[in-house]
Amino acid sequence: IPPVPEPVPEPVPEVLVYQCPVITKGGRQCPELAMDHNSLRIHWGSQHNVDGEQFSPTQHNIDNVSHYQCCVASCQYKHLTVGQVRSHFEQCHSDQPDKFQVVHNKVKLINKTSNSLSSNPAK
């Protein structure tokens, strides 16, 4: 009997998040994060004095920032808010016998000025 091949795991797509590009008076980058460019642009324009500046947020892989993930072991869904993960769970895993649980992955974000390898400017 020939050996049964091991199943090949599905590649996990990279999930990007965006960070506000403003450097505060204390020399730190604004900590505001968003899952999409446009949501962050609204924060940037309404919360900071940006007269004539070009909007260029920093991109991060979601695994490099604090985030929430689906509590189903085989699921790779991740988001910045609990509400979105709960909605995902209810839509995609309604057949699960277990109740929804919050899985929070806390990561300390490194300031982009101290480690340029951890982040890339958005295009």
d(CA 50, CA 54): 8
Q: pLDDT tens digits for 65-101?
A: 999 999 999 999 999 999 999 999 999 999 998 899 9
DSSP, residue by residue, 60-78: EEGGGS-EEE-SSTT---E
Which residues lie across from 116 on neighbouring strands? Answer: none
d(CA 89, CA 69): 10
Q: pLDDT tens digits for 28-47?
A: 999 999 999 999 999 999 99
